């Protein structure tokens, strides 16, 4: 039985009714990649590239970035690697970036907004990604998108960099859905972006207007809030209508209790911390799609996260 469990941990994940759900890993370093593979990750759904940029006086040059991305790609074998472009804002001191003293850094020049303000850094990172990660394995993802106006200039820059490097194959460029604006516009965004991945950490803080780093309001921060779930429902619907996939790479993806609700809302990829992957795969394998859709409907109609959790526990019992 033990050997069978270990083998199953490395098999692709399917629900009890046969529906395929991809279980990916979030990575924030080179060493995370080995842990993810050992845990049975089918790919990387979010590489947080900030670790390359923090706690230093100058930006990492192209070769250093390329080398790091290529080591992570090699560790993942032929599994897909979704590299998120730099997601830094005024809450982190980075001397070489144009960050003033912002009163509300979470609402300021962060994520793709910073990249659009510094296209030179963005270009360098895109070059390093395309040179470091084989085209068949490479996907790129943009943080903090609000609408297509944030997406299109990066798409153009990426096409330019591809031409510069002589890469003929298209490279998938997806977006994180972590602002309520992007969630509400998911349908139109999905007509141009190659995939959508929901960052529930930020989506929750922006939806509930509660700072994710402020202990005084941490009680309020629960991604299973019905208001957040209704936005996730919009994303699931919008992606499906456009024929794209929608995943979750925020902390909610690591919670097996949330899995049936997310799947019932149309999510087909969960990117979790490596340690959560074996348990998550086991939980998803027990699920049935009809039951998930029913549960998700009830969860969106609930009045509180506590009620959502009770519904999920009841459905899983």
User: Which option in Mg ion, ligand PEP, none does residue 48 bind, with CB closer than 5 to 8 A by kind?
Assistant: ligand PEP
Q: Which is nearer to Mg ion, 42 or 202 (CB)?
A: 202
Show the binding pattern over residues 121-160: x = contacts ligand PEP (CB under 6 A), - = does not: ----------------------------------------
Q: Please choose, from the candidates 48, 54, 71, 13, the residue with its C-alpha nearest in 3D space to the C-alpha of residue 176.
A: 48
Report phi then psi at 99, rounded to 5: -115, 115
Rounded distance between C-alpha atoms, residue 43 and residue 26, angstroms: 9
Is residue 45 close enough to count as binding Mg ion by CB under 5 A? no
Contact residue for Mg ion among 105, 199, 236, 305 (CB under 5 A): 199
Is residue 32 close enough to count as binding ligand PEP by CB under 6 A? no
Is residue 29 close enough to count as binding ligand PEP by CB under 6 A? no
Give the contacts of 1 (CB within 8 A, at least 6 positions apart). Answer: none
Residue pair 132/169 in contact (Cβ under 8 Å)? The answer is no
**Tokens representing 3?**
């050997």
Contact residue for ligand PEP among 137, 172, 201, 240 (CB under 6 A): 201
Rounded distance between C-alpha atoms, residue 80 and residue 137, angstroms: 5
Show the binding pattern over residues 49-88: x = contacts ligand PEP (CB under 6 A), - = does not: --------------------------------------x-
* Binding residues for ligand PEP restricted to 159-188, rule: CB under 6 A: 178
Rounded distance between C-alpha atoms, residue 73 and residue 262, angstroms: 28
Show the CA angle centred on residue 23, arms to residues 19 and 25, nearest 5°.
170
Handedness of CA 110, 115, 116, 121 (dihedral sign): positive
Tell me the residue length of the chain. 317
User: Which option in ligand PEP, Mg ion, none does residue 92 bind, with CB closer than 5 to 8 A by kind?
Assistant: none
Q: Which is nearer to Mg ion, 86 or 284 (CB)?
A: 86
Contact residue for ligand PEP among 202, 234, 255, 269 (CB under 6 A): 202
Is residue 92 close enough to count as binding ligand PEP by CB under 6 A? no
Q: Distances in Å between the alpha carbon of 314 and those of 15, 257, 309, 317?
A: 19, 10, 9, 5
Contact residue for ligand PEP among 80, 132, 199, 238 (CB under 6 A): 199
Q: Please choose, from the candidates 117, 191, 113, 118, the residue with its C-alpha nearest in 3D space to the C-alpha of residue 146.
A: 113
Smallest gap, in angstroms, from Cβ of residue 224 to ligand PEP? 14
User: Would you tell me which residues interact with Mg ion (CB under 5 A)?
Assistant: 178, 199, 202
User: Would you tell me which residues interact with ligand PEP (CB under 6 A)?
Assistant: 46, 48, 87, 178, 199-202, 249-250
């Amino acid at each position: 039985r033990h050997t069978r469990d270990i083998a199953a941990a490395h098999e692709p994940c399917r629900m009890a009714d046969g529906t395929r759900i991809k279980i990916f890993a979030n990575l924030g370093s080179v060493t995370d990649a080995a842990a993810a593979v050992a845990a049975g990750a089918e790919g990387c759904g979010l590489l947080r590239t900030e670790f390359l940029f923090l706690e230093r006086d100058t930006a990492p040059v192209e070769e250093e970035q390329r080398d790091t991305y290529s080591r992570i790609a090699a560790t993942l074998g032929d599994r897909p690697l979704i590299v998120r472009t730099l997601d830094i804002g005024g809450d982190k001191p980075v001397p070489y970036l144009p960050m003033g003293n912002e009163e509300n850094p979470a609402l300021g020049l962060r994520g793709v907004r910073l990249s659009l303000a510094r296209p030179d850094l963005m270009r360098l990172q895109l070059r390093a990604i395309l040179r470091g990660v084989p085209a068949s394995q490479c996907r790129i993802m943009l943080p903090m998108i609000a609408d297509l106006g944030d997406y299109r200039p990066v798409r153009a820059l990426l096409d330019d960099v591809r031409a510069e490097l002589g890469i003929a194959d298209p490279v998938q460029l997806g977006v994180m859905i972590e602002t309520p604006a992007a969630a509400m516009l998911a349908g139109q965004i999905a007509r141009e972006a190659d995939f959508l991945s929901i960052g529930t950490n930020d989506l929750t803080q922006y939806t509930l207007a509660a700072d994710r780093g402020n202990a005084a309001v941490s009680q309020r921060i629960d991604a299973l809030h019905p208001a957040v779930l209704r936005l996730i429902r919009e994303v699931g619907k919008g992606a499906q209508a456009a024929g794209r996939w929608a995943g979750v790479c925020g902390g909610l993806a690591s919670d097996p209790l949330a899995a049936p609700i997310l799947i019932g809302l149309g999510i087909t990829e969960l990117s979790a911390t490596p340690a959560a992957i074996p348990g998550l795969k086991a939980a998803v394998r027990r699920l049935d799609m009809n039951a998930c859709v029913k549960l998700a409907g009830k969860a969106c109609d609930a009045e509180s996260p506590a009620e959502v959790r009770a519904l999920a526990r009841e459905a899983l019992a």
